[in-house]
Amino acid sequence: MKNRQVLKIKSVIIILFCLQTIYSQSPTWTEIAPGVWKTTIGTPEAYNLFSAAEILPNTNAISKLGEAAFPLSRDKINAETVNCKTFLRFPLDKGEEIFGLGLNFKTVYQRGKILQLHVDHYGGTDNGRTHAPVPFYVSDKGYGVFINSARYITVYAGTGVRKDSPDAPEPKDRNTDKSWTSKPYSDAVEMVVPAAGAEVYVFGGPTALDAIRRYNLFCGGGCLPPRWGLGFTQRVKTLYTSEEVVAEAKSFAEKGFPLDFIGLEPGWQSKAYPCSFEWDKTRYPNPAGFVKTMKDMGIRLNLWTNPYVSPASPMYQALQPYIGSHTVWGGAVPDYTMPEAQKILLNQINKDQVSLGISGYKIDECDGYDRWLWPDVAKFPSGNSAEQIRQTYGVLLQKTTTHQYHDNNTRTFGLVRASNGGASSFPYVIYNDYYSHEDFITALINSGFNGVLWTPEVRSSKTGEEWLRRFQTVCFSPMAMINAWSSGTKPWSYPEVEKEVKNYALLRMQLLPYFYSEFAKYHFEGTPPFRAMNLEPGFDAKAKSELKNDNLGENPYAEAVTKEIKDQYMAGEYLLVAPLFTGQTSRTVILPKGNWYDFYTGKYVGNGEIITVSPGLEKIPVFVKDGGIIPMMPPMLHAPSANEKYDLEIRFYGTNAGRYALYDDDGETFNYEKGDYSWRIITVDRDKKGKLSGSISKVIQGKPDNINKVSWKFMSVE
């Protein structure tokens, strides 16, 4: 009741406010952290993306990025609130490119798009409806813009042409002028927020990557998964029993395939779609015993759920005061903006799931379709609108469960199908049912612009070739997962490529020290572990056309200049991954400036040029930057546990001196927040005789140290 009254008063104020037009042509910006500016337009709603996620900015880490100048001409930014809508305009320069604006699957360049940012399943078009429609864009001029509103924001990303634009294109006569275009030049990003105000943030550079770092750090830093979260995971068939799950884990061990956690799909619950949130006692008669058996085998468990509560669920009654007006598949829709509802959920999952050692959740169906989700006319007891709740439902569930694991001082790493701005610090990876290998890679690239993680999951394939090609890419992603909930496929299901699949599963394990360190950089420095080539120094889409390559004719970059690069990406500081898709036997790879080396052989492959590679089915092309240091461990079947020591093999590529910060902690708890971690600096230099030699700094006494013997491989030495 109290809530409602406050809301009524607020609504009256907002309506009165909306009767007038508030012009704030050039907003006033306040620097709230080094290189981070905020402005408030009109009367923003109290509930927004940052409040939903309850972000805790890491200002210390932002400070380390240094000062930055306000990156735009302030007088070219316009903002006004008219009739309860907020209109924003930001300038674009000639040739400027922008990225981000949600987890897009088909395109990397967003200039020229019209998007309505709306949490939904991905429907095959980059139109703003997607699993994480983050209202954040990054410019190659080295800044980012974030709109902190949980509304369906419409973005005209360089499409509208104002009559008073200083750059307005001249009208052309289509009858006679061949250069007429239906898409004339636009010099601005314009946005409509359907609310009487909004907070807007600008993140400074100097580079686009710095702007992303500032954004991620402002959201608390990227998540640091547990070490086991970066190992291999298999999701079993939906109606598996506990015996079948145990047998599945055993077969991984027997066949020598790595496995760190198994995902149980809907059948672990006594009711699903809507969900009971409790074990099905016929398939899982003894959850405690089962979880322990798995743990003894070194395997953790992740549980699927969707958020809709079956009348048969033990928490259904208690939730009644805190549910929305509409149901989903007959299940209640809890208003998770309310702490009371969060508490009831946590009570339920703590009872005999989290307390038994369940390592995390897969939170399904919190994105869309409209056909079955609550409509925008739905009402929620908190007074937050159906639209706001739709935009943040996945974020609320990530936050609630993350906080619980944090309270237990145990890290989690889960899956979620909806996210949004502010969620960088939540240890969740987005997935979906769309299953286009090519577009999954584009999504992986775009995830890095949006402060989210994405897995190009593998389910099943028509051929062994497709299976292996998909498998190779998932091993170079945030979550190496087979999602066999329907197919029941195992890594070895295609005997013709079983050996090659195993090699990549084991290579993924060998790369754990590298990937774990890269995630630590996501957490402490904000650098996304998987990201676009456009963020890589020396990768200059414009300069490319000036380069020459005799093998490829006059202008080898002609194709690349006009086409965005959405099929190769950076995995961590040094690795460039260029997947092949079914049917391809060769492909071109665009190498940024600087010397690049083959990951497998250490051989020089090129510098600032397009190369063509034909690696054979058994290989996914991976290249290493000059001076690249890749710390690796033996091909273990499980990620090392808290105090387990492993040997470290340090691979060095190229001829330039190199440096790498190797991260270590217990891999399982949040003790790193209290300083229980170590960075060891690996350096490679040339001695007076020109011989390469490497060293690794000692661990500070009392700090975590999982490393046993260290060996070196200078990969590029003839």
CB of 468 to ligand GAL, least distance (A): 21
* Choice between 306 and 385, CB closer to ligand GAL: 306
Question: Is the preceding omega at residue 206 within 30 degrees of 0, hence cis?
Answer: yes
Q: By CB under 6 A, tell whether 261 contacts ligand GAL.
A: no
CB of 113 to ligand GAL, least distance (A): 26
CB of 512 to ligand GAL, least distance (A): 25
* Choice between 64 and 271, CB closer to ligand GAL: 271
* Choice between 236 and 396, CB closer to ligand GAL: 236
Query: Of 429, 437, 489, which Cα lies nearest the Cα of 455?
Result: 429
Residue type, 183: K
* Choice between 238 and 350, CB closer to ligand GAL: 238
Distance between CA 94 and CA 31 in Å, rounded? 27
Size of the site for ligand GAL (CB under 6 A): 9
C-beta separation of 351 from 113 below 8 A: no
Site string for ligand GAL, 201-240 (x = CB under 6 A): -------------------------------------x--
CB of 306 to ligand GAL, least distance (A): 7
Question: Is the preceding omega at residue 369 within 30 degrees of 0, hence cis?
Answer: yes
CB of 12 to ligand GAL, least distance (A): 42
CB of 486 to ligand GAL, least distance (A): 7
C-beta separation of 477 from 456 below 8 A: yes
Restricted to residues 419-448, the positions that interact with ligand GAL (CB under 6 A) are: 433
* Choice between 266 and 298, CB closer to ligand GAL: 266
Q: Which of 97, 265, 500, 598 binds ligand GAL (CB under 6 A)?
A: 265
Restricted to residues 521-580, the positions that interact with ligand GAL (CB under 6 A) are: none
* Choice between 269 and 382, CB closer to ligand GAL: 269
Residue 515 host element (H or E): helix 512-525
- Looking at the DSSP bridge assignments, the partners of residue 178 are none
What is the per-residue DSSP string for 379-408?
A: --TT---HHHHHHHHHHHHHHHHHHHHHHT
- Looking at the DSSP bridge assignments, the partners of residue 98 are 139
* Choice between 308 and 569, CB closer to ligand GAL: 308
Cβ-proximal residues to 673 (8 Å cutoff; 6+ apart), any chain: none
CB of 454 to ligand GAL, least distance (A): 13
CB of 238 to ligand GAL, least distance (A): 6
* Choice between 304 and 574, CB closer to ligand GAL: 304
Distance between CA 349 and CA 399 in Å, rounded? 15
Q: 69: buried, middle or exposed (CB in 10 Å: 19+, 13-18, 0-12)?
A: exposed
Residue type, 585: T
C-alpha to C-alpha distances, 558 to 99, 350, 580, 612, 639, nearest whole angstrom: 21, 57, 21, 15, 44
* Choice between 301 and 715, CB closer to ligand GAL: 301
Q: Which of 266, 334, 451, 631 binds ligand GAL (CB under 6 A)?
A: 266
Restricted to residues 283-342, the positions that interact with ligand GAL (CB under 6 A) are: 304
Residue with tokens 């799909």: 265
CB of 240 to ligand GAL, least distance (A): 12
Q: Which of 104, 483, 489, 595 binds ligand GAL (CB under 6 A)?
A: 483
CB of 401 to ligand GAL, least distance (A): 17
| Residue 700 in tokens | 């500070």
Q: 60: buried, middle or exposed (CB in 10 Å: 19+, 13-18, 0-12)?
A: exposed
C-alpha to C-alpha distances, 282 to 288, 301, 437, 513, nearest whole angstrom: 14, 18, 37, 41
Q: What is the 3-state composition of the chain as percent helix, strand, coil, each rounded to the nearest 5?
A: 25, 25, 50
CB of 456 to ligand GAL, least distance (A): 13
Restricted to residues 350-369, the positions that interact with ligand GAL (CB under 6 A) are: 364-365
Restricted to residues 595-624, the positions that interact with ligand GAL (CB under 6 A) are: none
Q: By CB under 6 A, tell whether 485 contacts ligand GAL.
A: yes
* Choice between 137 and 454, CB closer to ligand GAL: 454
* Choice between 209 and 333, CB closer to ligand GAL: 333
Distance between CA 699 and CA 684 in Å, rounded? 18
Please give the residue ranges that form the binding site for ligand GAL (CB under 6 A). Answer: 238, 265-266, 304, 364-365, 433, 483, 485
